[in-house]
Amino acid sequence: MGILLKQEDNRSQYQERIAAELRERAKQQAAGSEPLDQTKQSNYIKDTSGTSDRIWIWLVGVGVVVAGLIVYIISR
């Protein structure tokens, strides 16, 4: 904790000015933008289907790859 306080004490006037300018710029950008509407952003997922009906294909595929790797490693 003492190290963090010491670091803040050592900030130069230039660093303080840059930090103040960045804070002001962030405030202006936040004030100018409209709040995010999560419902509009989630519309892309509306008509998609899950993988629950095809999960067995993925499991078989991964199993085949793992089995192939095991056979390859053992046969070397």
CB crowding 21-58: b at 16 or more within 10 Å, else e: eeeeeeeeeeeeeeeeeeeeeeeeeeeeeeeeeeeeee
Question: Is 49 within the bounds of a domain?
Answer: no
Residues of the domain holding 4: 1-32
Answer yes or no: are the C-beta atoms of 58 and 51 closer than 8 Å.
yes
Q: Say how far apart CA 41 and CA 35 lie, in whole Å.
A: 12
Q: What distance in Å separates the CA atoms of residue 70 and residue 64, rounded to the nearest whole number?
A: 10
Could you report the per-residue pLDDT of 11-50, keeping only the tens digit for each? 788 888 999 999 998 888 777 766 666 666 667 777 777 6
Residue 61 lies in a domain: no
Domain presence at residue 13: yes
Give the pLDDT confidence of 48-71 residue by residue, as tens digits: 776 677 788 989 999 999 999 999
